[in-house]
């Protein structure tokens, strides 16, 4: 699926996009009751209480009462409301692969710059109703936008993300696909997020998309010194026009895979409502996996069988963490440095903690590890200088980008970005 944006481009140019001038949305109303759509499979449309604001729901086949899902929320671009029933690319890279229920907003006026606050409230309503209709692990989720959809996306983030992961901000990963996201994302405490940002070289100067994307990436890079996540990817695709390409969604999904394990809860609490499980579930969703596993061992005999099922979920997550960290340690010194301490804390008290420690120790001894880390400050400091005003690579930066590409390697995030930028000639 590709979202072609000729009309979107025209409308963006005509419409003023000023997300930063609008008031942040208020907290959503009390949670709604389950609707007639509760548990419904497939794809269907829902109308919100706000006239002209609808959304489509896509439930992957992986979802079931025994396998609660996360969420994937998408804000379409200017004039893009006709594409709301389509989930092809989202299903391929996110919904089916990671068991996420998709929500595509549909604003009938096609204008994200008109009543942006109301459009955000409609999205909040869509989230709340979906959480009422399905078993949703709030916090396992993706929020993304295309083109002018960056306006409600930005306003939603500014209003809710600083409150922590919850039913009102159920996300751990954000994607800005050629998005007019025009405010600096707030520093990510207490709600760390991974970010994927992309723009096509052919749309760089369309409605300031290149400047917007580069600005957000530079700001996010600056926050890493204060502890914000360094899992940030700015993809510039040679020649691409105003659309969403399969390759950028695939790259974004890689970021979600990491953030899902590093930051997101994974247990649906209402399935473990007994008081004996309360502390265990809090520790599991607080990503203190060793402590949660220890708590299961202490359950009374009557709870052992149910506890064993939860232990299986914890064990599966531990194995996913080990597999991810083996990949990262082998290929990406920067991400290994960032995620290593996070996953070490999660596995504390488990036998697998020793294996993780050995993996990280071996990675740190590789010659490329120290060399790549040494290049990182210059990579961040020079970031804006990599590009010229038309989306072309700055030729003066080519030697440094070649050095990053060679030292970090194609399997690393910074090495992959450097390789992409060297193509922009």
pLDDT digits (tens, 9 = 90+) for 274-322: 999 999 999 999 999 999 999 999 999 999 999 999 999 999 999 999 9
**Which helix (DSSP H) or strand (DSSP E) does residue 198 occupy?**
strand 194-200
In terms of Cα–Cα distance, which of 327, 318, 319, 329 is closest to 287? 318
Q: Phi then psi for 59, rounded to 5 degrees?
A: -100, 120
Confidence check: pLDDT of 238 > 90: yes
- ∠ Cα 188 282 62 (to 5°): 85
Instruction: Please state which of the ranges 24-33, 69-78, 90-99 shows the lowest mean pLDDT.
Output: 24-33
Question: Is residue 402 within 8 Å of residue 422, measured between CB atoms?
Answer: yes
Q: Which residue in the block uniquely carries the two structure tokens 């609660």?
A: 68
- 3-state secondary structure at position 164: coil
Question: Cα 92 from chain centroid?
Answer: 16
pLDDT value of residue 125:
98
> Average pLDDT for residues 67-74, to the nearest whole number?
98
The predicted pLDDT at position 17 comes to: 40
pLDDT for 16 equals 38
Does pLDDT of 19 surpass 80? no
Q: What pLDDT score was predicted for residue 29? A: 62
- pLDDT for the residue numbered 26: 53
Cβ partners under 8 Å of residue 68, min gap 6: 134, 135, 136, 137, 268, 271
When pLDDT is averaged across residues 253-267 and rounded to a whole number, the result is 98
pLDDT score of 226: 87
Q: How many CB atoms lie within 10 A of CB 305?
A: 9
Mean pLDDT of 364-383: 95
Average model confidence (pLDDT) across the chain:
93
Domains of the chain (ranges, CATH numbers): 6-14+32-263 (3.40.50.1820), 269-365 (no CATH), 368-422 (no CATH)
Query: Using the 8-state DSSP alphabet, how is residue 102 labeled?
Result: E
CA distance 11 to 188: 32
What's the rounded mean pLDDT across residues 165-178? 97
Q: Is the peptide bond preceding residue 190 cis, with omega within 30 degrees of 0?
A: yes
pLDDT at 190: 82
DSSP state of 92: I
N residues, the chain: 425
Within 13 Å, how many C-alpha atoms sit on residue 217's CB side?
Answer: 32
């Amino acid at each position: 699926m590709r979202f072609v944006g000729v009309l979107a481009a025209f409308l963006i140019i005509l419409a003023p996009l000023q997300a930063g001038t609008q008031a942040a949305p208020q907290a959503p109303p009390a949670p709604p009751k389950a609707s007639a759509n509760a548990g419904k499979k497939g794809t269907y449309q829902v109308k919100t209480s706000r006239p002209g604001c609808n959304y489509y729901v896509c439930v992957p086949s992986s979802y079931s009462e025994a396998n609660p899902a996360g969420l994937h929320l998408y804000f379409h671009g200017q004039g893009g409301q006709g594409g709301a029933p389509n989930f092809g690319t989202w299903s391929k890279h996110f919904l089916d692969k990671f068991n996420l229920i998709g929500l595509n907003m549909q604003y009938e006026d096609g204008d994200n710059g008109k009543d942006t606050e109301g459009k955000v409230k409609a999205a909040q309503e869509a989230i709340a109703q979906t959480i009422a209709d399905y078993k949703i692990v709030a916090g396992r989720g993706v929020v993304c936008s295309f083109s002018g959809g960056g306006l409600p996306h930005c306003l939603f983030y500014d209003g809710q993300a600083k409150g922590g992961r919850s039913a009102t901000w159920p996300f751990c990963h954000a994607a800005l696909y050629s998005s007019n996201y025009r405010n600096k994302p707030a520093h990510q405490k207490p709600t760390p997020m991974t970010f994927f940002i992309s723009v096509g070289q052919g749309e760089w100067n369309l409605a300031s998309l290149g400047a917007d994307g580069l600005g957000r990436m530079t700001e996010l890079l600056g926050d890493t010194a204060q502890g914000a996540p360094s899992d940030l990817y700015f993809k510039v695709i040679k020649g691409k026009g105003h659309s969403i390409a399969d390759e950028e969604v695939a790259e974004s999904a890689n970021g979600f895979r990491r953030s899902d394990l590093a930051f997101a809860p994974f247990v649906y609490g209402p399935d473990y409502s007994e008081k004996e499980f309360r502390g265990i579930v809090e520790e599991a969703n607080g990503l203190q996996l060793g402590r949660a596993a220890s708590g299961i061992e202490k359950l009374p005999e009557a709870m052992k069988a149910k506890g064993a099922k939860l232990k299986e979920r914890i064990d599966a997550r531990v194995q996913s963490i080990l597999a991810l960290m083996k990949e990262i340690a082998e290929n990406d010194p920067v991400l290994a440095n960032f995620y290593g301490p996070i996953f070490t804390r999660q596995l504390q008290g488990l036998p697998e903690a020793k294996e993780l420690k050995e993996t990280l120790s071996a990675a740190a001894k590789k010659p490329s590890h120290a060399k790549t880390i040494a290049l990182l400050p210059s990579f961040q400091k020079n970031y804006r200088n990599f590009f010229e005003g038309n989306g072309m690579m700055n030729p003066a930066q080519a030697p440094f980008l070649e050095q990053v590409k060679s030292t970090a390697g194609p399997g690393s995030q910074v090495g992959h970005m450097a390789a992409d930028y060297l193509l922009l000639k």
